[in-house]
Amino acid sequence: MSNLSYANAEYGPWKTFLEQVDRVAPYLSEDLSKYVDTLKRPKRALIVDVPIIMDDGTIRHFEGYRVQHNLSRGPGKGGIRYHPDVEINEVMALSAWMTIKTAVVNLPFGGAKGGIRVDPRTLSPRELERLTRRYTSEISHIIGPQKDIPAPDVGTNANVMGWIMDTYSSGQGHTVTGVVTGKPVHLGGSLGRVKATGRGVFITGYEIAKKIGLSLDGAKVSVQGFGNVGSEAANLFSEYKSKIVCIQDHTGTIFNADGIDLEGLHAHVAATQGVLGFAGAKQIDNEDFWDVETDIIIPAALEGQITIERAKRLKAKMILEGANGPTYPEADDILVGRDIVVVPDVICNAGGVTVSYFEWVQDMSSFFWTEDEINERLDKLMIQAVADVWNCAADNKCTMRTAAYILACERILRARKERGIYPG
């Protein structure tokens, strides 16, 4: 159990993370397991007040965070979330999952995450820019290309990253493209970054489907979340002739047993900002999403979606965790008992941070790659990483989640051991 005074370990995503660490501990060698407590607390957690002048002249205060969970293997890496539910417990867990994720795919980074408790849809573009710039200035002393590199997450996008880059650069007196990834392409961003997470979800799903003998041709797929991740994953599954039967987003849930026409849906979402009301599907209750007859479920929204109760009900052969932390540990146990394969978040959605790494490398060398080069390198890296996780799970007779944690924790704790505990 955590003894951190500022984080309640009795509930929420941080509790989920601690339980995941407890599950991997028995698999670690003795010389490494004595360092495991290093994962049970973040290295550094910053809480900042972000006051801004609203368009109507009033002043509002927002609470912002940047947590660096572990820096043993390199600078912190991880997104910035703008969402009304953001709080320290969640940001700590999200930063910890980044530590595991960068280590599973062997990127030279630690794990970090940030966020502001705000509903970005309620702010004007100018208010959003002021919020982002003030937040950046408040966290600017702990971020940097060799310290901690933010990126987009739920509620943020390339424009927000552009403002972060510009604000940080103003403080430094010169342009520092490598301080943040997921930037607009003409500001040092990488081709392929926007679609990278969804692409990685598809690639890992494709690889594991082959292993379990699930043909994608005609397979039924349900997707929760139709943002960056869910929509691109749906596009790729549909290119491989799977049927996207059910989609849920913040506006509601739509269903079509014959498969939803994605081209039409994209046009509808561009016009109305949500899937609800799309003529090519019928609306169903949000809770009924978990009862749909389907082969693959892709939770690609927020954490804490697959509860014990939903794990008992859902009908799927495979779950692809596009979101971070969508499944509770106790629900994981039920899915194992039901022979439902889970491709865990820390490998399944690692495509985004992998192309973030490529972006950071390109910024460092001021030499930019083609989209084909990026996708080729991404595919190769993800295929290898998911095969390593699959083989590790087979060798240890454990879930792919525990296997991913074994591979990651060995790398992180070895780095910790070799660096030593200062002052020794």
**Contact flags string 149-188 toward ligand GLU, x per CB under 6 A:** --x-x---------------------------xx------
Reported as type and span, the H/E element at residue 374 is: helix 371-396
Kindly state whether residue 324 participates in binding ligand GLU, applying the rule CB under 6 A.
yes
Asked whether 79 and 111 are in contact (CB, 8 A), the reply is no
Asked whether 217 and 242 are in contact (CB, 8 A), the reply is yes
Q: Which stretch binds ligand GLU (CB under 6 A): 216-224, 233-241, 289-297, 346-354?
A: 346-354
Asked whether 230 and 219 are in contact (CB, 8 A), the reply is no
Of 15, 77, 101, 113, the catalytic one is 113
In the complex with ligand GLU, the residue whose CB is nearer, 303 or 332, is: 303
Is the Cα torsion angle 321, 12, 289, 155 positive or negative in sign?
A: negative
Q: Which stretch binds ligand GLU (CB under 6 A): 31-39, 77-85, 244-252, 286-294?
A: 77-85
Site for ligand GLU in 195-254 (CB under 6 A): none
For the chain, the residue count is: 424
Q: How far is CA 60 from CA 52, 130, 156, in A?
A: 6, 11, 20
Kindly state whether residue 68 participates in binding ligand GLU, applying the rule CB under 6 A.
no
| Structure tokens, 229 | 């991740």
Kindly state whether residue 74 participates in binding ligand GLU, applying the rule CB under 6 A.
no
Kindly state whether residue 352 participates in binding ligand GLU, applying the rule CB under 6 A.
yes
| Structure tokens, 64 | 């912002």
Phi, psi for 226 (deg, rounded to 5): -125, 40
Kindly state whether residue 341 participates in binding ligand GLU, applying the rule CB under 6 A.
no
Active site residue 34: no
When binding is defined by CB under 6 A, the residue of 132, 349, 362, 375 that contacts ligand GLU is 349
When binding is defined by CB under 6 A, the residue of 77, 133, 134, 401 that contacts ligand GLU is 77
Task: Report DSSP letters for 261-286, one per residue.
Answer: -HHHHHHHHHHHSSSTT-TTSEEE-G
Asked whether 403 and 392 are in contact (CB, 8 A), the reply is yes
Active site residues: 113
Judged by the rule CB under 6 A, the positions of this chain that interact with ligand GLU are: 77-79, 151, 153, 181-182, 324, 349, 352-353, 356
